Structure 1
């Protein structure tokens, strides 16, 4: 699985004030805006959508029908969109108890997760239909990837009938597990004396963030790392340098046709976080065009990703549609240059890092 690693950023105190004290105060303002304006609303939204999804799965199991399956599909897509925005904050409460991997085990390069889900369905493992017991099983069996296979994978057509109740029961347990994790993370971020309090109040007695530099480094790392992840892992994991190198079944959420929705959610989250933090306001007056350019490019990236709909293999087979993916890659590369090089240079940051590591 991928590991998010903070970039090595050396943030001068002069950026946020002339003294360590003023630096911490200014950094606290930036971080508090990020928490209140993006992080808390994003995870609250995920909690709400996950709850709707869990109810839709319960309704499908109680009364199998095409209408209820359509509602479950809609709930799944809405939850994917909410998660794709929130997941850019891949530290803090979401990292506790392996929640990040349990929520989404991806990429599944060796199909380990797929095989475990298929084995549970084939063997009708009764413990996998109990949310409490499922939470203690393999991370690959209990998140969005597992639920996607239940709802869209081979055999999903049985969900509209009553002959194979196990598949729906397993899916309902996954949905409930997702809701529980979302609720726990939502509650954790809302605690004023929890992780949010530590991030927004750096200082010498803070075990995680000793000064404003470290707190803001965490924030800047989100923009740099997530853009790299979206482009180099999520997109280039299936988009080849040339059409013959494309791997449509390596695309995230390819079964549910939510690949574009997910990519859009990632960039939408980055934009919302950047705007909420008002980090661009710390730029010198003659360099604030960068903040507006970042915003515009993120909006364009979101629009491009949202236009990618339907089966990803058909998108890749159509030169015009495939061109949208290449355009999306160019946008993310431009953004990486703007944020990872030019913005950090304006702040006097040194960005030398390897932000993603895979097994």
Structure 2
């Protein structure tokens, strides 16, 4: 009876709170920081000048970057094209720079180029890669960076608008006549719950699993955003965002989730290299593996405190793969 009661009552409140307390403010924050980055690039396009505003934009993205539904299901790909398993980003950027392609000077035309040359990870290459970041003001590479940042700001605005003016109402109207996306309130709640667990799974299996590789063959160069030293920062911030969305969905206390997040922060503080470039050392590797275990423990706590009482199981998510 308790499970039936919980499943029947909190769905509408949970969806609304997820939107108003987490998702919509998250996209507004990302839009603000992406625009600040674009404005900064117009003032000074050089790599040292843009690293701080780029990191601020990336921080804002972690708040909502793993919510892959509605306009974000495909729209997020050109904001954060990672993992780039075939190395398309450096190849595309190098080709554009060597050929001084006209699209690199036109933010509107740039929206049609490969996603490998767009977004946060293309900018990371331009701002931190030894082979790309030494460009000077007035160069084609400088103009390209200005174009990428302008394009990123446009993408951020489009995503925010797509949520605020469209998809938010699709979630809010779940179960109402005419809503063919979510035929019941529970479907909308389950879709959001899926985002939480999919985010944590992606962090454990990809953000951490890719650089860990195997004990015999660690792959530190496969870490997310390692050139900028953000690998561990992204892990913790993305996990915190998943936990925050869990709190927004629930109208009750989540002590196990809070404790799991606190333990995750504690073990993350023990990692010796935030870029995971030392994981060929067994002791350093163990510290990262412990972080991975605590990401999974956080997911278990959320399943226990939200999924179990609501009778929810996660559905398909765009980050699940084929």
TM-score w.r.t. the length of structure 2 is: 0.89
Q: CA contact under 8 A between 1:264 and 1:306: conserved in structure 2? A: no
Within-5 A mapping of 1:102-113? 102-113=78-89
C-alpha distance in structure 2 between counterparts of 1:15 and 1:313, whole Å: 42
Structure 1 position 267, deviation (Å): 0.8
The separation in 1 between residues aligned to 2:315 and 2:173, in whole angstroms, is 26
State how 1:86-165 maps to structure 2 within 5 Å. 86-95=64-73, 98-159=74-135, 161-162=136-137, 165=139
Structure 2 stretches lacking a partner, 5+ long? none
Matched, 1:41 2:32: no
Runs of at least 4 residues of structure 1 off by over 4 A?
Answer: 302-311, 317-320, 350-356
- 5 Å-filtered alignment, 1:192-271, equals 194-205=166-177, 206-242=179-215, 244-271=216-243
Q: Deviations over 1:251-281 (max 9, x none)?
A: 111111111121122112112212223x162
1:324 and 2:287 correspond: yes
Q: CA RMSD in A?
A: 2.5
Q: Is the 8 A contact 2:203 2:235 kept in 1?
A: yes
The gaps in structure 1 that reach 5 residues or longer are 1-11, 18-22, 282-287
TM-score (norm 1): 0.80
SS of equivalent to 2:211? coil
Structure 1 residue 342: Cα displacement? 6.8
Deviation track 1:26-65 (CA, whole Å, cap 9, x = no partner) reads: 411110011111001111111111112112222223xx5x
Which residues in structure 2 correspond to 1:55-70 (within 5 Å)? 55-61=39-45, 69-70=47-48
2:310 to 347, 355, 359: 347
| Equivalences, count | 319
Q: Distance in 1 between matches of 2:274 and 2:255?
A: 34
Q: Report 1 or 2 for greater relative contact order, CA contacts < 8 Å, sequence distance ≥ 6.
A: 1
Measure the CA separation in 1 of the matches of 2:247 and 2:85: 35
Give the Å deviation of 1:182: 0.8
SS at match of 2:278: helix
Q: 1:167 to 1:309 in 2, by over 3 A?
A: farther
Q: Tell me which residue corresponds to 1:338.
A: 301
| Deviation of the 1:84 alpha carbon | 1.7
CA distance in 2, matches of 1:190, 1:196: 6
